[in-house]
Structure 1
């Protein structure tokens, strides 16, 4: 029998899910409803279904009609892709109303909301899944396989450097993510991917986190140092923005025009704010030191204004070292084909055994976003499930453990002190 799905929050990331359901998985899945604060955006989503995917329109519901939607559509699963600070509301209420939930990362943004979700899963017995597509990227799965097969012994330390470039990285400072109250900052919104990978690769959980970071590149306070002499609040309608490499022309992009520019009249949300404007409360430069329950340590850095997009990782183990370099395709969120967001451009995995010659590790690459992980994740979610020796499907516990590294990091930024994860949230 087909599972029925509804989607809450129909911005850019929602397209990834609803397009896949109606394009590739109609044998197992049925899309029955949209819910959002903005009717224009839901109407656009329905136009995508009708005009591009030859599917019928689905019923739409405003955010205050969420419970009405559940009662009328009777979905099996609610897909939550709304603004991060609202995830917990929809996750908890959906489970209380008898639905399972699939949520976009991050699961939520702070320890109180995280605890409320954990308690709701325990109370209702419903299933909650977090969509960590990077676990499914073939190169990341290969890293897991190598560590599982003892290629470098027990991993004692990890150095993890993630680079966001001036196209993708800057985009977080134009939109709602720039307000930490919405996103938890990039240590939660973006780094949840990275912290989950380390938990997944090492088979362990975070214990203690110490963090440092600042707004060092973007923001009004850094504009003069970046050579910015004229200011604008947003790109649309600004002559200054036309010559700014950090400006965003939504009017010339059909996706952004339909989803955001045409929808502004309803909620006043500006998707194209200046990255050197006021109102930015997140960091653009971050470094963490993490100790795990298995005694491994990690040094981690995230920078958001670099010349290329991707990451470098070094694993130091009791039998050798593994070095990984990944270069991804840069993108502006919701600016085009979602299947190409973060697509792999270059990769290298090299193992250095302690007493033998180094060797390069090959893997079968899959096309698609997030290093080829997106299509594999979608099959795992919406097709008939298959056995997976790597256990890539992420539960609510995985979702909580990934964000708690960033949430502990945020507390460390505020206090200047190391923070123990077990002091923030209770896992039953």
Structure 2
């Protein structure tokens, strides 16, 4: 296999850990990083400190994308910056007929979904969206059970997702807290969950209705120790009165949970220019929700009830998928940040007429339930030819998840059901 050349747009913590490090270590015989693009010179310096072999690599500002492509001649563009920056880089790369790897969410709005879909339809390049949850062994086994016809035609899905007070609060410390940057958490985070369901059941979402609220964070948060904007955890005078901060710290030592993939978020204030990842979770600029409850209707008759909560005592999810021939159930409790024993995840299969079967899933090492290493192999080595079903997500899957997430928050805002295709139609009308 010829060695491909990659450029990275958005030199984020995610870009460093998820893409650049594996390209330099695991996939070095297949990948060459030839350029970096970001708005912040501090991120280049941070990347070079982490990865000395990249020192001297060409770097570019956002308005130098064309120059970067011309000078570095990449085969693939990786897009991994803040969510609202994705669309421009994806579209420009596809216009150059280059392949693109985008972090999820693909984009943040229906309007940008339309731009990307149009660009993909007119390009010989291919966009891949890095939905790593698909690759977790328990999730691929669920897909296989459905493909085997074990539960028949899928009729309904119940999915309840829980984020603990550490992980959930992290989104309100960072740029994600602004809808203009993240699309809100029904886009930034829920696209993971929505895409899983879309992929499992192989149906297209057509309508969503939802309720949502900001229950825990923001200036009106019940546990806000002082109504005062502009605070940062690192310098806050009232942090010892903050239950969220003290849950993971003591009066003598500020800590993060060990072996947690979020630890890298807690960067030093000087690591990036003009940006800190420890903004107060009770700031009044927060304009997104932290709790959702939604119903989604699909084109082949299935319905999903979905909820997500960003401030709970533990982390995990509960899932049930019902069909004309049976039911699948599973649940996961993540134990890294809580002191409780958690057994290996299993899947319970209930035939419509017959006894329960418990399926034990062989775990894999790696981030996101063992999904990250397998996703990276498909992205950098090509799809695994031994796999009997499609798993890599493209532009259409990326758009469906974003459009559903946007429909959820717009339903919250309007108190009306939102037709998902209408978001694309309105996006087209607005561009004319």
User: Fold-level match, TM-score > 0.5?
Assistant: yes
**Does residue 326 in structure 1 map to residue 332 in structure 2?**
yes
Say how many residue pairs are matched: 408
Partners of 1:81 and 1:282 in 2: how far apart? 22
Partners of 1:170 and 1:363 in 2: how far apart? 31
> What is the aligned counterpart of 2:375 among 369, 374, 377?
377
Report 1:261-410 matches (<5 A): 261-264=269-272, 266=273, 268-328=274-334, 346-387=344-385, 388-410=387-409
> Which is further off, 187-196 or 247-256?
247-256
3-state SS of the aligned residue for 2:173?
Answer: coil
Q: How far has the Cα of 1:23 moved from its partner?
A: 0.6
**Does residue 6 in structure 1 map to residue 7 in structure 2?**
yes
Q: Which runs of 5+ in 1 are unaligned?
A: 332-343
Q: Deviations over 1:362-415 (max 9, x none)?
A: 222110111110000011111243223221110111111111111111221221
Distance 1:158 1:384, change over 3 A: closer
**Normalised TM-score (structure 2):** 0.89
8 A contact 1:88–1:108 mirrored in 2: yes
Q: How far has the Cα of 1:43 moved from its partner?
A: 1.2
Distance 1:384 1:316, change over 3 A: closer
3-state SS of the aligned residue for 1:409?
Answer: helix
Report 1:94-113 matches (<5 A): 94-113=93-112
Report 1:34-183 matches (<5 A): 34-50=36-52, 57-183=56-182
Distance 1:145 1:303, change over 3 A: same
8 A contact 1:160–1:312 mirrored in 2: yes
> Which is further off, 227-236 or 186-195?
227-236
8 A contact 1:213–1:413 mirrored in 2: yes
3-state SS of the aligned residue for 2:424?
Answer: coil
Q: How far has the Cα of 1:230 moved from its partner?
A: 6.5
Q: How far has the Cα of 1:346 moved from its partner?
A: 4.3
**Normalised TM-score (structure 1):** 0.90
Distance 1:260 1:73, change over 3 A: farther
Distance 1:384 1:198, change over 3 A: closer
Q: Deviations over 1:314-351 (max 9, x none)?
A: 111112211110123557xxxxxxxxxxxx97412111
Partners of 1:227 and 1:251 in 2: how far apart? 19
Distance 1:345 1:392, change over 3 A: farther
Q: Deviations over 1:182-221 (max 9, x none)?
A: 1011110000011111111001110111011010111111
> Which is further off, 226-235 or 359-368?
226-235
8 A contact 2:291–2:308 mirrored in 1: yes
Distance 1:321 1:101, change over 3 A: same
